[in-house]
Amino acid sequence: MTTNRVALVTGGTRGIGLGIARRLAADGFSLVMTGRRSADEVEQALAEVRDQQGNRDQQARYSRADVAERNERQRLLKEIEAEFGRLDVLVNNAGIAPNPRADVLEATEASFDELVATNLKGPYFLTQAVANWMIRQQQHRQERRAIINVSSVSATVASVNRGDYCISKAGVAMATKLWAARLTEYGIGVYEVRPGVIETDMTRGAKAKYDAMMEGDALLERRWGTPEDVGAAVAVLARGDLPYAPGLVVVVDGGLTLPRL
């Protein structure tokens, strides 16, 4: 069993997930990252994470897994237990956009089903499995553990051309409250990080729209957010630097959703 703390970051090889993985690696965690791409396709991302690890005992590995699939979630956790013997932090980050984006009057059930399975059902039941494992671990070691859900300002801000995405993120926000209410007694911190407009592959298709927002007064910080911004917030929670705050929501959106007159 490794003595390093181990973090699982779903969707950890690109965009926000990679920013989170890099930051946790720099903070001394061993990392397991998941995604749906082949191992060859994520070699560069894995190298970037390993470059951040300063302790030779730290490890970083990739497991191809679709969190929407029950069997793949089970296999993933068995692999982590066999290799590391522990799991200290779960970051539920994996998510997809609607395919295609469509007005709520025209959106399809197929897109809804796929998106909700990945963005909501998958992390909900992965959390269930991880939480039970973490509770068993607490019987032997009293270290602090954390489950961190990466949601979106879309949990509260309506976008009528991607209703399924908004619904999934609103569900993640409620799931955070539910798991915090259930798991705090076991010393497991459950939190939500809620990013705004972050520069990733997912937002590239709407670049012109968001660039215009940066030029106006929609944001207090008139710039794109970065995966590193989100990674910094996740790292604070993963390290346990904010105790006595069950279910805390950290909004990383440059002031986008701050009410103003």
Q: Which of 165, 191, 210, 244 does the annotation list as catalytic? A: 165
Cβ atoms of residues 146 and 89 within 8 Å = yes
Cβ atoms of residues 17 and 60 within 8 Å = no
**124 has catalytic annotation:** no
Q: Residue 153 — φ and ψ, nearest 5°?
A: -60, -15
**Side chain identity at residue 71, one-letter code:** N
**Side chain identity at residue 79, one-letter code:** E
**Shortest CA distance to 200 belongs to which of 60, 68, 11?**
11
Q: Which two tokens stand for residue 167?
A: 């619904």
Instruction: Rounding to the nearest 10 degrees, give the CA dihedral for residues 250, 51, 95, 39.
Output: -170
Mention every residue, 6+ apart, whose C-beta is less than 8 A from residue 207. none
Active site residues: 165
